[in-house]
Amino acid sequence: NLVGRSLDDARVQLERLQLEADISWVDGTPGAVLEQKPKAGLAAAPGLKVRLVVARG
Q: Is 18 left (phi over 0), alpha (psi -120 to 50) or beta?
A: left
Residue 23 falls inside a structural domain: yes
φ and ψ of 30, to 5 deg = -65, 145
- What's the structural domain count of the chain? 1
Q: What is the pLDDT of residue 41?
A: 81
Q: Give the rounded distance of the alpha carbon of 7 from its chain centre.
A: 7
Residue 42 falls inside a structural domain: yes
Predicted structure pTM score: 0.83
For residue 41, give the CATH number of its domain: 3.30.10.20
Domain that holds residue 23: 7-56
User: Which strands, in side-by-side order, build the sheet including 20-27?
Assistant: 20-27, 49-56, 33-37
pLDDT in tens, 4-55: 999 999 999 999 999 999 999 999 878 899 999 998 888 788 899 999 999 9
